Amino acid sequence: MNNIISIPRQSLHQEVANRLRQRIIEGELDPGTKLNERELCEVMNVSRTPLREAVKMLAAEGLVELLPNRGAVVARLTEQDVLDTFEVIAGLEGLSGELAAARITAEELTEIRALQYEMRAAHARRDLPTYYGLNARIHELINAAARNPVLTQTWRNVNARLQVMRFRSNLDGAKWDQALDEHERMVEMLAGRDAAGLRKLLIDHLMVKRDTVIELMRAGKLYQKQKENA
């Protein structure tokens, strides 16, 4: 253990919350999975107190659901939940597009352009994981360019709930081409300061993504969509 030199930078419950959030978003903990306290405590080597505090935080974020006297489970989204969530994300991302078009700096635009080229490379290689990573970074950058921490925080929070479904490993050729094309136009609109245009584009972009996810759900590729009777 290196706990002499490296001081624990943040409190334990925060650390636990981060690790749990990560595991949920990465899909290591599938939706519907019961969070067993004793088990998680052993894995993370912490006592139940900070673990429970972390779980409560994730519940407030909407990533886990608390069942009174029955613990917590990773949140499961119904088809309707997904539709609703995309509707909200579209609104938030549309807003961040509007603001970013007005507020983005030359440096940020340059960085997005660079990532855009990398993304084209990933697309050419059919390298989906890299593509998705770059995609996420570009959207993060657009959001950051909006210069609104409250927006960023809200957006990340709502987004996290969707990431749980990790619809990453699926994207057919035509949709992929279209997505790449839309990204090209995003850069143009950012450069041209076209707030309204970027807003509309981002919203349309998300609607396509939404339809893709719903299709996958219906095909049962993500997870069974029935919710508990509760």
> Which residues of this chain interact with a second copy, rule CB under 8 A?
10-11, 13-14, 49, 52-54, 56-62, 66, 68-69, 81, 84-85, 87-88, 91-92, 94-95, 99, 148-151, 153-154, 158
2 vs 69, which CB is nearer to DNA? 69
Are the C-beta atoms of residues 152 and 146 closer than 8 Å to each other?
yes
**Kind plus residue range of the DSSP H or E element containing 91:** helix 79-103
Q: Which of a second copy, DNA, none interacts with 70 (beta carbon under 5 to 8 A by kind)?
A: DNA
Tell me: does residue 227 bind DNA (CB under 7 A). no
Among positions 10-29, residues that touch DNA (CB under 7 A) are: 11-13
Query: Could you tell which of DNA, a second copy, none binds residue 151, using a CB distance below 5 to 8 A set by kind?
Result: a second copy
Task: CB nearer to a second copy: give 32 or 91.
Answer: 91
Q: Is residue 157 within 8 Å of 169, Cβ to Cβ?
A: no
Residue type, 129: P
Query: For strand 34-35 and strand 72-74, is the pairing parallel, antiparallel, or unpaired?
Result: antiparallel
Q: How far is CA 59 from CA 20, 37, 70, 139, 192, in A?
A: 11, 15, 14, 25, 41
Q: What share of the chain is helix, strand, coil (3-state, %, to 5)?
A: 70, 5, 25
Footprint (CB under 7 A) of DNA, residues 65-124: 66-72
Q: Nearest approach, Cβ of 85 to a second copy (angstroms)?
A: 5
Nearest residue to 203 via CA among 120, 95, 81, 99: 95
Q: Mask 30-59, x = binds DNA (CB under 7 A)?
A: ----xxxxx-------xxxxx-xx------
Total residues belonging to the chain: 230
Q: Is the Cβ of residue 39 or residue 188 nearer to DNA in the bound state?
A: 39
Give the interface with DNA as residue ranges (CB under 7 A). Answer: 11-13, 34-38, 46-50, 52-53, 66-72
